[in-house]
Amino acid sequence: MPDNISSSRTLPWFVRSGARTWRCLPAPDEVRAFHAALPGHSPTPLTELPSLAEELGVGRVFVKDESCRLGLPAFKALGASWAVHRTLAERAASGREPGPVTLVTATDGNHGRAVARMARLLGQHAHVFVPQGVHPQAVAAIVAEQAKVTEVTGPYDEAVRLAAEEAAGPGAVLVQDTAWPGYERIPGWIVEGYSTLCAEIDEQLAAQGIGEGPDLVSVPVGVGSLAQAVVTHYRSRPSGRAPALLSVEPQAAACVLESLTLGEPVSVTTGHTTMAGLNCGTPSSIAWPLLRDGLDAAVAVPDADSARAATHLAALGVSSGYCGAAALAGLRAVLTGAAVDERRAALGLDATSVVVLLSTEGTAANPHRPLVPPQQTGSESGKTAAC
């Protein structure tokens, strides 16, 4: 059984031992080459923020800034592009009739826009189902990609169900970034697409003199697909440092934390959260085994903490939406408060540790009004990026 060793009653926190010794197979090598050949592709920045290292009591802190990935304000284009490429190639190889197909998906914003962008660029159609709570500007951005949008009066899981029903029709294919029994190949391709992000981090850290990789990676989590990619990358390396891996969710939608606590995948009833892209009630079926065995810890944070983290990152020159800033909010929650020494020890952190925060989206991806006033903090890395 996993070890939940937190003695804090106020922090929704889970930790288990043994994750850093668990191993799995790596992602395929050809994904990186595919992305490198796409028009407009370039690695996203890995920005060092010394003031955060000082605040958190670690050696160095880097933020992987996904505010502009392939022309979109979030990392999702990596998975969508590879999965759509594989899907269309497979259809062509099977001898099916040529001509446009409709790529169907459900989204909290970023994934749907990425699928719609790929459909438009490749001469396909897109139909995107959007659950309640997604900001109208995010919906408008999907419409601007020439996609048909259906707004659902229910949560994310309901939007996924309706998208799957729609994709059962002729000339349609479901391109969903969560999996369930019987629907796993395309979600698996999406996860493979995210491996490019991790490979870039390795190279960027090496350029900073950190050849063995980070000591901890903090990952925002919805259904767990990005976290699955991160676990796959760091738990498949034959040598080098095995970092601690921390997942961060909204308190209103902590399906992975609840599943880890119970030891089996469960669905939770979600509430409203400004971390819209993380507002998911059920872990992906293909992600769950890797999250169960490869994550060191999980934490859930309130919206206000994520908003403060986003404001702080903006003051330091990093554009981060509330979902992206969850990585910082979660790490702050773990490294402060009651039982902090116990949590630091469980994650293997000390004053020399190297930490990577995955800021999965820019402010343009999640256009909510700030919940806290801007901090008057000097920038360490220039102006906030825009996409």
Q: Tokens 């020890």: give the residue.
A: 345
Residue 76 known to be catalytic: yes
Q: In what order do the strands lie in the sheet with 354-359?
A: 13-15, 297-301, 244-250, 216-220, 354-359, 60-65, 46-48
Q: Tokens 């009004």: give the residue.
A: 369
3-state secondary structure of 189: helix
Name beta bridge partners: 13.
299
Does residue 26 contact residue 230 with C-beta atoms inside 8 Å?
no
Name beta bridge partners: 105.
128
320 contact partners, CB below 8 Å, separation of at least 6:
63, 65, 67, 309, 310, 313, 314, 328, 359, 361, 362, 363
In whole angstroms, what is the distance from residue 336 CA to residue 192 CA? 34
Q: In what order do the strands lie in the sheet with 125-130?
A: 148-151, 125-130, 102-106, 172-174
User: Which contiguous run of DSSP H or E holds residue 202?
Assistant: helix 195-207
Residue 108 known to be catalytic: yes
Q: Which of 65, 108, 202, 305 is catalytic?
A: 108
In whole angstroms, what is the distance from residue 263 CA to residue 236 CA? 23
Q: Which of 64, 65, 76, 215 is catalytic?
A: 76
Active site residues: 76, 108
